[in-house]
Amino acid sequence: MRRDDKWILRIKELEAENKLLTEEIERIKDSMSWTESKALDRVYELETENKKIREDHSMLLARFDADAMLISNLAAKNKRLEAWIDDLQSEMYINCVYCGHRYGPNKGDHLVTMRKTLEKHIEECPKHPLSMARNRIMELEAENRWLREQYNSLIFEVSYKFPGESRHDTAKRYIREREEYGIEIGTKQALGEASDE
């Protein structure tokens, strides 16, 4: 037998085996119940879906890494620019635009930058809108405290509040009743005087 013939024979053998196996698969498929073949379809569907999710996930991870890289690059750049500002300002006089206070230059003092000095000045500057706002807040807080004390001392004159009424309501009612009583007395007196005449 020639070598080529041997190969041809082998190919034929394999083809026959392949045909048998394909037939076997078809038979198995035919013998499967409807539920089984549905289950098989579902497995295939899930595998496809799973693969897609995996791909999306790795794409998102890659994008996330890229964003994180971008953020850290920007933060580094920001830090360099801030150092640059501090260097540029280090040999300058700077004036407060609100009160004119002058400070600087901070040569050689790298711990206290001009911007930090400015920040500190703003807290104390009598003309800076922020410190003015802060002072006004403190004034209003003090006034608020005082009013609250006045109010509390008034409503705590009520030794016990009535059911269904707040202490505030009870206090208001007492005052109203007292005022009305006073008016009534006044009216009676006025009427009495009139009848005496």
Applying CB under 5 A, which residues contact Zn ion?
Answer: 96, 98-99, 101, 125
- Cα distances (angstroms) measured from residue 168 to each of 84, 148, 157, 171: 61, 13, 10, 5
Choice between 125 and 158, CB closer to Zn ion: 125
Shortest Å distance, C-beta 112 to Zn ion: 17
CA-only gyration radius of the chain, Å? 46
Choice between 103 and 172, CB closer to Zn ion: 103
Distance CA 185, CA 191 (A): 10
Shortest Å distance, C-beta 82 to Zn ion: 23
Choice between 79 and 116, CB closer to Zn ion: 116
Distance CA 57, CA 63 (A): 10
Shortest Å distance, C-beta 92 to Zn ion: 17
Choice between 101 and 161, CB closer to Zn ion: 101
Distance CA 1, CA 16 (A): 21
Q: What are phi and psi of 42, to 5 degrees?
A: -65, -40
Shortest Å distance, C-beta 134 to Zn ion: 13
* Residues paired with residue 94 on neighbouring β-strands, in sequence order: 103
Shortest Å distance, C-beta 124 to Zn ion: 8
Choice between 86 and 98, CB closer to Zn ion: 98
Q: What is the largest CA-CA distance in the chain?
A: 160
User: Tokens 């850290």, residue?
Assistant: 72
